[in-house]
Structure 1
């Protein structure tokens, strides 16, 4: 018997719409994408991004191909204000990219917003106020006319300040916050009033953003709201209709897709879906969904490991192994029948044929993965036993991703040498393959300086020589990866990291496990040390040693 009292909730009241057309539509081109990682995503973090993390994230967004990037709420945060100034004064914004800033419809905040944007080439000023029934009645205690007047006054203020800075190419954006909780005809009335102030034209459009600030209905009901809005709003041909969905019901991507089918032109979201509560609309997922249908997503998502590395480093949030398209296990088959079907389909697949492989909606190579990661041994066929033995005998609690990498090595050894692998042989295999932090290069002395950024100075010895390297980053591992990358002329992205104590007690040693993408190839390194920082950077050095050795072998061959 459930203890839930379902009677305290009222069902969502759908929009009365007849002859809806969106169910018969298909998405045939990518929408305009707008990343809100640096603002909406950032405010949802337990530890908001530092300036250096924001710089790193902005560079990633530019490289991925976003032309509209919301960079902060400069009137509400000095950190955001300073970041916007840095972007402009240091000429960090490409000529074809609009930086977007958010502000409430309050005169003093709008004025401060324009101060932050002084000298910008292109900017979107995004002004909002909440219009929902709940917020009107319980938060602001204002009637409909009063809430509409807030929007109108904010629109006037935005327009007046823009006129003082004609050197900037301005775009105005308005959001009736909590659109999905607002009476639809009233939402249209408010938007019409804002548009009347801004006087858009088909050649000089405004952006009207319709947020599902809290997801309150099934995606089809949201699509009804969008189609009804697009049919009934004035000057539709002078508006870019934008969507900003959240994931409270787990349908953020579906709602955005159906909203585009219902007439929307633009999508706001975050890479990998970070956002308040259950998250924002996941742009990676929606863009890859479009890609899987043979449509250019107009975003460069092929280096998924780099995207994951930067997002994890800047947000301090891990990507779920089953995350669509990006997760470590999404292209992995553990079932024997699945493995067999994939193998047979891959054998028939040629470059001149459309992709048609069982259980794989896209080619893993398109996002930087390999077929070796598709077919793996599961716990029933060896991986679990390998991990259990190493943990019981030696205290090595291998993370799942390293179990996946190590199991085929043990299996190959078993097939070659009679099928029985004892614990000592297993440990030797593990050390020879992953604990390579001393050959050809070994870590000597190092020191770590912590300031706004972490700086590492380290000495490497090997090949009868000694070199000193230096790097900066957000933490010792990040700084050391930059130092190694610069010295060896490699790109080193940390994909996975895990560490634990080997035994209980104050004198226990620590073990660190690292997976890195180095120039497009993945390597796994492990190291043991009395100090966890030393273990971590030696484990990273182990991955680079493997790459250096591979390059040397290739050169000799």
Structure 2
């Protein structure tokens, strides 16, 4: 059903690029945008055009080349920002302007030295300016996670009335707990009279490690767009990880939700972004980390070798990863050792494995990982001893 689709809004090229050391040149941005479209993302936030001539040029070129995805440009609730965004996306087949302003008391008082009513008027005006360039306007209520729900509902109702087609509810500081974020989305659905005229979007940050959980809580509550990045790149501790939310939705069919992402491209896309943006992926990263499908504990290895589903809920090929790995360490057991010898074409019976295992544990205690060369030496030594005693 169309209502059950979760639109994937990728902001790797905008929020992800704000990570220190991850700045992209125009050609890199364009190459990644084309791959994001191939991946199946619905919206590509291509950049923040007013921020620099280079970003303006990148958004413009991406707008010319992307044929299926919506191309989105970010702006503040400032007329010159919106004019630059509108100009940059004028060639896009599906253009969107993403404009907004902070709505929490912290932002209103400390950042803008304004009142709630003044911020409300600025929000409405921003949407009206954006309407001159496109009918697809997304409004972000920055720091919505810490905004009082009653005022947030007033702002959202007003910007939808002014023409916003998507309303973004950012947990800008990663402050919310999942139940709080879900309740905020539910509150808007139940208290904004015209909410049916817009898509609610989740934009969650990972300051407390809850970005994915909060985004999923948001869509369970009724949001239908998730803003995310490849590898969870983003300001400070990062954004919601695209690969994580996509696979949560794919695995939990009981949610009745789906995306258009081609999951088999997730690992190749992760590696491309990591290489291009010069930002390594932590080994234990869900879905795309190098250890995501590795098993080193003897108990886990034994269960996995009997039935992969005992310790893997996702097959590596499903997300474009290399095959699962049995890593031999001091925690490994006999079944894993026998499996690796078999892979190396050594035919040892149970008695052989018992003898070899004693040597294996001694070696494993002295190094982090026992590799195939170690096993080959071990096998040769064992065979020579066996022949000598025959």
Return the TM-score normalized by structure 1: 0.60
User: Residue 261 of structure 1 aligns with which residue?
Assistant: 220
Distance 1:84 1:368 in 2: 29
* Equivalent of residue 93 in structure 1, options 57, 60, 66: 66
Q: Please tell me whether the aligned partners of residues 207 and 241 of structure 1 are also in contact (alpha carbons under 8 angstroms).
A: yes
* Equivalent of residue 126 in structure 1, options 77, 89, 98: 98
User: Residue 304 of structure 2 aligns with which residue?
Assistant: 342
Within the alignment, does 1:208 sit opposite 2:148 as a pair?
A: no
Q: Please tell me whether the aligned partners of residues 176 and 214 of structure 2 are also in contact (alpha carbons under 8 angstroms).
A: no
User: Residue 410 of structure 1 aligns with which residue?
Assistant: 374
TM-fit CA distance, 1:118:
2.4
Distance 1:384 1:279 in 2: 42
Q: What per-residue deviation string (whole Å, max 9, x for no partner) do you get for residues 267-301 of structure 1?
A: 10101101111110011011112222346542112
TM-fit CA distance, 1:76:
1.7
Distance 1:208 1:296 in 2: 20
* Equivalent of residue 85 in structure 2, options 113, 116, 129: 113
Q: Please tell me whether the aligned partners of residues 377 and 408 of structure 1 are also in contact (alpha carbons under 8 angstroms).
A: no
Q: What SS does the aligned partner of 2:135 have?
A: strand
TM-fit CA distance, 1:387:
11
Distance 1:278 1:137 in 2: 25
Q: Closer, same or farther in 2 for the Cα pair 1:30/1:329, shift >3 Å?
A: farther
1:215-364 equivalence runs, <5 A: 215-294=174-253, 296-346=258-308, 357-364=309-316
Within the alignment, does 1:368 sit opposite 2:320 as a pair?
A: yes
TM-fit CA distance, 1:386:
8.1
Q: CA RMSD in A?
A: 2.4
Q: Please tell me whether the aligned partners of residues 30 and 290 of structure 1 are also in contact (alpha carbons under 8 angstroms).
A: no
Q: What SS does the aligned partner of 2:382 have?
A: coil
Distance 2:362 2:94 in 1: 55
TM-fit CA distance, 1:45:
3.1
Q: Please tell me whether the aligned partners of residues 241 and 264 of structure 1 are also in contact (alpha carbons under 8 angstroms).
A: yes
User: Residue 181 of structure 1 aligns with which residue?
Assistant: 146
* Equivalent of residue 83 in structure 1, options 58, 62, 84: 58
More helix by share: 2
* Equivalent of residue 329 in structure 2, options 336, 361, 378: 378
Distance 2:215 2:362 in 1: 40
In the alignment, structure 1 segments of 5+ residues that lack a partner are 1-27, 163-168, 201-205, 347-356, 390-399, 421-557
**Which of these two proteins has the greater Rg computed from alpha carbons?**
1
User: Residue 48 of structure 2 aligns with which residue?
Assistant: 73
- The number of residues matched between the two structures is 352
Distance 1:310 1:414 in 2: 38
Q: Please tell me whether the aligned partners of residues 47 and 74 of structure 2 are also in contact (alpha carbons under 8 angstroms).
A: yes
Q: Please tell me whether the aligned partners of residues 30 and 61 of structure 2 are also in contact (alpha carbons under 8 angstroms).
A: no
Q: Closer, same or farther in 2 for the Cα pair 1:370/1:131, shift >3 Å?
A: closer
Q: Please tell me whether the aligned partners of residues 6 and 258 of structure 2 are also in contact (alpha carbons under 8 angstroms).
A: no
Q: What SS does the aligned partner of 1:287 have?
A: helix
In the alignment, structure 2 segments of 5+ residues that lack a partner are 333-359, 385-390
Q: Please tell me whether the aligned partners of residues 378 and 384 of structure 1 are also in contact (alpha carbons under 8 angstroms).
A: no
Q: Closer, same or farther in 2 for the Cα pair 1:303/1:126, shift >3 Å?
A: closer
More strand by share: 1
TM-fit CA distance, 1:113:
1.7
Distance 1:153 1:298 in 2: 34
Distance 2:362 2:24 in 1: 37
User: Residue 125 of structure 2 aligns with which residue?
Assistant: 153
Distance 2:59 2:376 in 1: 55
Q: What SS does the aligned partner of 2:65 have?
A: coil
Distance 1:92 1:60 in 2: 12
Q: What SS does the aligned partner of 1:66 have?
A: coil
Tell me which of the two structures has the higher relative contact order, counting C-alpha pairs closer than 8 angstroms and 6 or more residues apart.
2
